[in-house]
Amino acid sequence: MTVWRDVIGQEAAVATLENAVRNPAAMTHAWLFTGPPGSGRSVAARAFAAALLCPDGGCGTCRECRTALEATHADVDVVATEGLSIKVEQARDLVQLAARRPSVGRYRVIVVEDADRLTERAADALLKALEEPTPRTVWMLCAPSVEDVIITIRSRSRHVRLRTPSVEAVADLLTRRDGIDPSMALYAARAAQQHVGLARRLARDEHARIRRHDVITMATRITGVGEAIGAAQDIMTIASEESAASSSERDAAEKARLMEVLGADPSARTQPPHIRSQVSSLEKEQKARATRFTRDVVDRALLDLLSVYRDALVVRTGAGTALVNEDSRQVVQRVADVLEAEALLGAMDAIGTARERIGANVAPLLALEAMALDLRLPR
Ligand SMILES: [Zn+2]
């Protein structure tokens, strides 16, 4: 049992971090964890935090280890943004926090889960703290790749690169940690393309499996303009439903809590101005969160769809590689039967373009419609 038990398939990264725990000369005050979404960047950062705070260098069982892993340790702060960006005000708060000595442990650790979402001004604010580090404060920044983080921050941090773990490693984690049946774990790990969090959700949530199936079968259903427009709309509907399902309860609870704090009467028809303005700023925040969530769901749906064409290419070229959609071989086979390799590559390009456009703030429905029109099967 060690603190690294859930950091799967990352031997090289773990070796680097363990060395930094044991050897002061290998330690530094700013770390940049990169790796594809779902590879466990924040899991690795928390494990590192625990190892730094544990009297035994990361036993995995003591109080320091357990609270650091859960991010409830007094000297560990994990910042995860739910909006589209981390704003300068939030960065300034972090800089202030970083200047404080650790309260109980050897280090104060600040994990920024989405360092790629720092606005330029927020990054500038953080930079000062990285340039003039407070002794015993350790920054752990997480991002998909080094290119996603501004260069001045990058150059002041030590880089730890995480790889995509293997299907077997993810399945094994789901079975061991979450008690998921091994064959379900294997399906989910494969279908989620080794994204640990998504795999767990697929394994546990039948609706998520149904939604995923709806998306991958689109590849065989888009035969004309009408079907293309319909498919684009379907992806948006799936995404908004998922977003609404995950946020409505929480939004309402947040609003109720705010009203309570402000001493407002929730049954009153109109609220005094100071309450109205607080409520409206909360609603704005919730809307930004929903927008990001919907966009993330659309992106995942596009990755699912992409996997069908990639699988079809594998089938067509006769490469023996395992399919992502092993469970839906008929769908893959049908696509491989009607589209030649070049058309499959064209479809993958169309999906890649849509992802880029949505990432660059094009209205998702427009980008999806243009993509779906390119995915029409020959009659
Ligand atoms: Zn420990």
Q: What is the pLDDT of residue 257?
A: 85
Residues less than 5 Å from ion ligand 1, measured at CB: 54, 59, 62, 65
- Distance from residue 142's CA to the centre of ligand 1 (Å): 23
Cα(2) to centroid(ligand 1), Å? 8
Contact between 219 and 331 under an 8 Å Cβ cutoff? The reply is yes
Predicted pLDDT of residue 185: 97
The predicted structure's pLDDT at residue 177: 93
189: CA distance to ligand 1 center in Å?
Answer: 29
Q: Show pLDDT as tens, one digit a residue, over the chain (379 residues).
A: 699 999 999 999 999 999 999 999 999 999 999 998 888 999 999 999 999 999 999 999 999 999 999 989 999 999 987 666 888 999 999 999 999 999 988 999 999 998 988 988 999 999 989 999 999 999 999 998 999 898 889 999 999 999 999 999 999 999 999 999 999 999 999 999 999 988 998 999 998 899 899 999 999 999 999 999 999 999 999 888 888 877 777 788 888 888 888 888 878 888 888 888 888 888 888 888 888 888 888 999 999 999 999 999 999 988 878 899 998 999 999 999 999 999 999 999 999 999 999 989 899 999 999 999 999 998 7
Nearest CA to 157 out of 169, 170, 146, 172 is that of: 146
Residue 264: what pLDDT?
83
Is 144 in contact with 35 (CB distance < 8 Å)?
Answer: yes
Q: 35 CA distance to ligand 1 centroid (A)?
A: 26
First-residue to last-residue Cα distance in the chain: 58
234: Cβ contacts below 8 Å, ≥ 6 apart:
214, 218
For the chain, strand residue ranges (E) read 30-34, 76-79, 108-112, 137-143, 158-161
Three-class SS state of 31: strand
Distance in angstroms (rounded) separating the CA atoms of residues 369 and 212 = 19
Distances (CA, A) of 274 to 140, 256, 262, 263, 330: 38, 16, 9, 11, 59
Q: What's the 19 CA to ligand 1 centre distance in angstroms?
A: 16
SS3 content of the chain, % helix, strand, coil (to 5): 65, 5, 30
Confidence (pLDDT) at 282: 86
- Between the CA of 63 and the centroid of ligand 1 the distance, in Å, is 7
- Whole-number Å distance, alpha carbon 49 to ligand 1 midpoint, is 11
Polymer length in residues for the chain: 379
Tokens of 82: 């739910």
d(CA 146, CA 26): 21
pLDDT of residue 285: 82
- State the distance from the centre of ligand 1 to the C-alpha of 73, rounded, in angstroms: 12
For 358-365, which contacts have Cβ atoms below 8 Å and span 24 or more sequence positions?
358/295, 358/298, 358/299, 359/299, 364/236, 364/239, 364/294, 364/295, 364/298, 365/232, 365/233, 365/236
Output the pLDDT for position 112.
95
- pLDDT at residue 249, as a whole number: 76
CA distances to 95, 194, 253, 315, 327 from 319, rounded to whole Å, are 51, 20, 51, 7, 18
